[in-house]
């Protein structure tokens, strides 16, 4: 597997390039990797790093689950019904084009600077993307297999689990992939604008204190967490869901 | 099973008209006719997959369908494919036994994509028989198989039919196949299509040698007219 060799090597090269650039730069502007590592250790021991990572991760997961469930329901309904799709497709296009910042600001103004408003703002941003992806999946559902299931009286539960969901799995994965990537970035903005904890809040704090090292600590820590989610959850699930393809 | 179709149309086009048909319990009926005359449409009406027609039907419970393409779920292994169909009929526990009757023991964990077309067809047959149907509908179940595989599957189908005794209605273009397997042949023809001929075959199957099959399928071809696949009795 060539990926095992080249990915770490490539990342190591990136860190080395950073170290090299840092040699020629003011450490206030670009702190070297080892200095950032020391700061990370400090933040870890004080408990701050874990606390704020946890707060952000909780928001990411809650918003992600909400967006996937609601977006999938809307997308599947639109994909299965031509009438519904013609009626609501323009709404979807409008929703897709609302800037994330507008949704966030409006949610805070309407619902106050609360946790519910924060999570709702993030979920609402992502729902249209999930709906569009799952709509394609529902349009592509195999009618012949649906007939087979009807003929053999599978019933709604078994039809959903064994006939429909396996066909939607690739679309769910695609939506989850792009979803998690988009959501965690929006969560940081939501935290920056109206929360008093989380990675976004910390980055805002150290922005005001001009502490670039700690901004690096929080940004890198969260990138690592999200990569762990990708490698530890999304990819194994995808392998499991597509095992029948490996012939 | 009994069906009386007054009329079936697609758009403004009337496809079937005044078709009245009774399938005796345990009989093996073959339905043939020119391409596009409505054989599959008739089968789908009997199966309840097409409900947009005028007429009435009775005795359509407990049926199974062997589709032209096997229509197995590619993301479930063979055992699950059979079990999912057999469970609602109350025979989920016998799924492995059904696979064994078509010679697929040892393939319980195989995914359909790994099978040859012949094996996938066998699995489709196993699934249909696993529900212990009173009526078995088959839509060209042996096309696109090589002649050896098709011959084996015909033998297997007849064997299992003798054991389980559903009423079979099988669509085919292959008149030699019809002559060799059926105890009744229906010819569907015309537009809108009607039952143009209804022939009984009393001759025991073991006495249908290639000469007899050639004669009978020759007479069938005259009835069917254009569109029928030439019979090839030498291969049966």
**B166-186 pLDDT per residue, tens:** 999 999 999 999 999 999 999
Render pLDDT for B194-221 as a digit per residue (tens, 0 to 9). 888 888 888 888 888 888 888 888 888 8
A51-86 exposure pattern, b = at least 16 Cβ within 10 A, e = fewer: ebbebbbebbbbbbebbbebbbebbbbbbeeeeebe
Q: Which residues of B touch A239 (CB under 8 A)?
A: none
Mean pLDDT computed over A78-85 = 91
Query: Mind telling me how many Å the CA of B66 is from chain A's nearest CA?
Result: 10
- At residue B236 the predicted structure's pLDDT band, cuts being 50, 70 and 90, is very low
pLDDT of A246: 64
User: Per the structure, how many domains does chain A have?
Assistant: 1
The residue written with tokens 């009329």 in the block is B7
Name the closest residue on chain B to residue A247, using Cα atoms. Answer: B114
What is the C-alpha separation between B194 and B37, in angstroms, rounded? 9
What is the C-alpha separation between B100 and A26, in angstroms, rounded? 76
Q: Which residues of B touch A158 (CB under 8 A)?
A: 84, 87-88
pLDDT of B60: 81
Which class for A119: exposed (0-12), middle (13-18), buried (19 or more C-beta within 10 A)? buried
Residues 156-175 of A with CB under 8 A from B: 158, 162-163, 166
Q: Which residues of B touch A155 (CB under 8 A)?
A: 88
The H or E element containing residue B163 is helix B147-164
DSSP readout, chain A? Answer: -THHHHHHHHHHHHHHHHHHHHHTS-TTTS--HHHHHHHHHHHHHHTHHHHHHHHHHHHHHHHHHHHHHHHHHHHHHHHH-HHHHHHHHHHHHHHHTS-HHHHHHHHHHHH-SSHHHHHHHHHHHHHHHHHHHHHHHHHT--HHHHHHHHHTT-HHHHIIIIIIHHHHHHHHHHHHHHHHHHHHHHHHHHHHHH-SSSHHHHHHHHHHTT-HHHHHHHHHHHHHHHHHHIIIIIHHHHHHHTGGG--
Q: Which residues of B touch A150 (CB under 8 A)?
A: 49
Tokens of A163: 């006939």
A123-153 exposure pattern, b = at least 16 Cβ within 10 A, e = fewer: bbbbbbbbbbbbbebbeeeeeebbbbbebbe
Averaged pLDDT score across all residues of chain B: 88
Test A144 with B65 for CB contact under 8 angstroms. Answer: no
Name the closest residue on chain B to residue A156, using Cα atoms. Answer: B88
Averaged pLDDT score across all residues of chain A: 91
Name the closest residue on chain A to residue B78, using Cα atoms. Answer: A244
- Flag whether residue A151 sits within 8 Å of chain B, measured between CB atoms: yes
- Domain membership of residue A179 as a residue range: 33-246
Render pLDDT for B11-47 as a digit per residue (tens, 0 to 9). 888 888 888 899 999 999 999 988 888 899 999 999 9
Residue A1 has pLDDT above 70, yes or no: no
What is the C-alpha separation between A215 and A204, in angstroms, rounded? 8
Name the closest residue on chain B to residue A148, using Cα atoms. Answer: B71
Domain CATH code at residue A71: 1.10.3720.10
Render pLDDT for A201-231 as a digit per residue (tens, 0 to 9). 999 999 999 999 999 999 999 999 988 888 8
Test B76 with A147 for CB contact under 8 angstroms. Answer: no
pLDDT of B235: 38
- Domain edges within chain B: 2-62+133-235, 74-132
Test A247 with B127 for CB contact under 8 angstroms. Answer: no
Please report whether residue A83 resides in a domain: yes
Residue B49 has its nearest CB partner, among A151, A154, A166, at: A151
Query: Mind telling me how many Å the CA of B151 is from chain A's nearest CA?
Result: 26
Test B87 with A163 for CB contact under 8 angstroms. Answer: no
Least confident piece of the model among A31-40, A127-136, B15-24, B71-80: B15-24
Give the number of C-alpha atoms closer than 13 A to the C-alpha of residue B33, restricted to the C-beta side.
25
CATH superfamily of B2-62+133-235: P-loop containing nucleotide triphosphate hydrolases (3.40.50.300)
Test B88 with A152 for CB contact under 8 angstroms. Answer: yes
Q: What is the ipTM of this complex?
A: 0.87
Residue B88 has its nearest CB partner, among A155, A162, A247, at: A155
Specify the 3-state DSSP secondary structure of B76: coil
Please report whether residue A212 resides in a domain: yes
- At residue A234 the predicted structure's pLDDT band, cuts being 50, 70 and 90, is confident
Q: Which residues of B touch A147 (CB under 8 A)?
A: 49, 71
Test B76 with A162 for CB contact under 8 angstroms. Answer: yes
Test B75 with A147 for CB contact under 8 angstroms. Answer: no
């Amino acid at each position: 597997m060539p990926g095992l060799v080249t990915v770490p090597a490539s990342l190591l090269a990136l860190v080395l390039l950073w170290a090299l650039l840092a040699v020629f730069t003011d450490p206030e502007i670009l702190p070297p990797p080892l200095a950032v590592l020391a700061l990370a250790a400090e933040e870890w021991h004080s408990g701050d790093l874990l606390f704020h990572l946890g707060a952000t991760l909780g928001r990411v997961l809650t918003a992600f689950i909400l967006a996937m469930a609601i977006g999938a329901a809307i997308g599947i309904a639109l994909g299965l019904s031509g009438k519904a799709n013609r009626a609501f497709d323009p709404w979807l296009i409008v929703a897709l084009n609302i800037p994330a910042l507008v949704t966030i600001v409006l949610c805070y103004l309407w619902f106050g600077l609360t946790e519910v408003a924060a999570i709702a703002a993030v979920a609402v941003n992502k729902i249209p993307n999930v709906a569009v992806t799952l709509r394609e999946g529902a349009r592509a559902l195999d009618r012949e297999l649906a007939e087979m299931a009807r003929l053999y009286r599978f019933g709604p539960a078994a039809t959903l689990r064994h006939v429909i969901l396996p066909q939607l799995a690739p679309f769910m994965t695609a939506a989850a992939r792009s979803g998690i990537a988009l959501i965690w970035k929006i969560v940081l903005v939501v935290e920056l604008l109206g929360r008093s904890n989380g990675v976004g809040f910390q980055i805002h704090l150290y922005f005001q204190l001009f502490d670039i090292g700690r901004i690096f600590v929080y940004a890198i820590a969260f990138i690592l967490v999200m990569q762990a989610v990708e490698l530890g959850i999304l990819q194994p699930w995808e392998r499991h869901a597509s095992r029948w393809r490996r012939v | 099973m009994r069906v009386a179709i007054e009329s079936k149309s697609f758009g403004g086009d009337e496809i079937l008209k005044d078709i009245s048909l009774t399938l005796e319990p345990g009989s093996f009926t073959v339905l043939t006719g020119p391409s596009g005359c409505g054989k599959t449409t008739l089968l789908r009406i009997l199966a309840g997959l097409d409900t947009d027609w005028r007429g009435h039907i009775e005795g359509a419970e407990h049926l199974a369908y062997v589709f032209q393409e096997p229509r197995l779920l590619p993301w479930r292994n063979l055992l699950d494919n059979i079990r999912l169909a057999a469970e609602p009929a109350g025979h989920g526990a016998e799924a492995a036994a059904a696979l064994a009757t078509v010679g697929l023991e040892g393939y319980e964990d195989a995914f359909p994509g790994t099978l040859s077309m012949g094996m996938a067809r066998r699995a489709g047959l196993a699934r249909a028989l696993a529900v212990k149907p009173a009526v078995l509908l088959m839509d060209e179940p042996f096309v696109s198989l090589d002649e050896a595989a098709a011959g084996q599957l015909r033998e297997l189908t007849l064997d299992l039919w003798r054991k389980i005794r559903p009423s079979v209605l099988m669509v085919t273009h292959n008149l030699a196949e019809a002559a060799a397997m059926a105890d009744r042949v229906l010819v569907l023809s015309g537009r809108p299509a009607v039952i143009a001929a209804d022939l009984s075959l009393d001759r025991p199957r073991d006495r249908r040698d290639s000469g007899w099959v050639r004669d009978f399928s020759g007479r069938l071809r005259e009835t069917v007219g254009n569109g029928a696949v030439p019979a090839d009795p030498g291969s049966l």
